[in-house]
């Protein structure tokens, strides 16, 4: 709640006239508690989880022929009932986990210094803070994601998210309840390091979830603005990770790809580590030695085969393709 009763008091305290954005913020938030404003996150997340994936579903239903060439795994065609089942599971987790987590996390938000007061931050400050949040979250998420691909982490937690070997937008937040809680830590670290305004915090939550939905959309659309972001992974990069499934020891990046390149877990760079430097760099031994040996021996040949399979002929039976079983079979076939 703002400590000003009128616009004149606010302008007097700030020492200048309010901008248009600040006037709108004052009129909206002056009589609302900080807790009430923070709980807007619940509404924003509900709208994002429900509406943003509809964009890709709309394209798939009404413009299928036009966008088919941009579908990363055209073999997989889920029915509307399959999509709705995914959405129901996501909403169940939203009601039981995400929503309550937002309600009880307010004290920590106040503790780190997220403010609702005037003046509003400039556009450049907002962009700088959002960039910081993305980098911090991406780096932390990378290591948590690698841990979740250890044998225990995958079998007990992460395999739920990998049920979709060909991901769809609605499946971005489809995960075990414990994974949802754990991955809340990277999302919170950025604002904790560089606390900003509540509006910046809203934008961070919204952009991060929209980005995750795009990454899981299953489409590599040429008009996406993310194609102009350096080191951005995107749907094509992340689809490979889902296709390989439980055997995957590469492409862990949530947003950017620099961690995969630096630590040797990019799907191509990891092969170069082995063949050029004679090093094996998996974070933990999720696969048995035979399967890992097969992965190394296939190198670029296997990568090329996977990409060919992802772009293979259409399959109208609606079944998910790929995953750990297909990965192992492909290696043996070669």
Domain extents for the chain?
33-333
- Euclidean distance between CA atoms 171 and 114, whole angstroms: 30
Of 107-116, 150-159, 162-171, 273-282, where does mean pLDDT reach its minimum? 273-282
Average pLDDT over residues 261-273: 66
Q: Are 285 and 279 in contact (CB under 8 A)?
A: no
Environment class of residue 5 by beta-carbon count within 10 Å: exposed (0-12), middle (13-18) or buried (19+)? Answer: exposed
What are the start-end ranges of the H helices in 149-256?
151-156, 177-182, 184-193, 198-215, 234-244
pLDDT in tens, 3-34: 778 888 888 888 889 999 999 999 999 889 99
Measured between alpha carbons, how far is 177 from 179 in angstroms, rounded to an integer? 5
The 3-state secondary structure of 246-282 reads HHCCCCCCCCECHHHHHCCCCCCHHHHHHHHHCCCCC
Question: Is 47 a residue whose pLDDT tops 70?
Answer: yes
- Looking at every residue in the chain, the average pLDDT score rounds to 82
What does DSSP assign to residue 314? -
- Tell me the residue length of the chain: 334
Query: What's the pLDDT score for residue 116?
Result: 93
């Amino acid at each position: 709640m703002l400590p000003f009763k009128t616009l004149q008091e606010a302008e007097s305290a700030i020492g200048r006239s309010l901008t248009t954005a600040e006037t709108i913020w004052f009129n909206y938030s002056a009589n609302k508690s900080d807790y009430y404003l923070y709980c807007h996150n619940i509404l924003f997340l509900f709208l994002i989880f429900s509406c943003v994936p509809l964009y890709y579903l709309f394209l798939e239903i009404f413009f299928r022929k036009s966008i088919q060439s941009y579908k990363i795994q055209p073999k997989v065609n889920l029915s509307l009932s399959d999509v709705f089942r995914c959405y129901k599971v996501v909403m169940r987790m939203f009601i039981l986990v995400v929503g309550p987590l937002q309600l009880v996390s307010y004290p920590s938000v106040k503790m780190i210094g997220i403010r609702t007061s005037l003046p509003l931050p400039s556009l450049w400050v907002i962009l700088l803070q959002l960039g910081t949040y993305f980098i911090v979250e991406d780096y932390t998420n990378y290591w948590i994601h690698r841990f979740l691909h250890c044998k225990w982490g995958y079998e007990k937690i992460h395999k739920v998210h990998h049920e979709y070997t060909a991901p769809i937008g609605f499946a971005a937040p489809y995960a075990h309840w414990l994974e949802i809680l754990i991955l809340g830590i990277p999302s919170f670290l950025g604002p904790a390091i560089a606390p900003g305004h509540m509006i910046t915090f809203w934008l961070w939550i919204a952009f991060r979830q929209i980005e995750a939905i795009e990454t899981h959309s299953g489409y590599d659309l040429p008009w996406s603005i993310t194609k102009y972001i350096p080191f951005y992974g995107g749907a094509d990069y992340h689809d490979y990770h889902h296709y390989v499934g439980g055997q995957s020891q590469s492409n862990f990046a949530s947003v950017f790809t620099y961690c995969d390149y630096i630590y040797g877990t990019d799907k191509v760079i990891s092969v170069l580590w082995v063949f050029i430097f004679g090093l094996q760099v998996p974070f933990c031994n999720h696969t048995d030695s035979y399967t890992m040996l097969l992965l190394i021996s296939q190198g670029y040949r296997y990568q090329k085969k996977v990409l060919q399979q992802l772009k293979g002929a259409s399959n109208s039976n609606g079944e998910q393709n790929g995953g750990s079983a297909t990965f192992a079979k492909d290696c043996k076939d070669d």
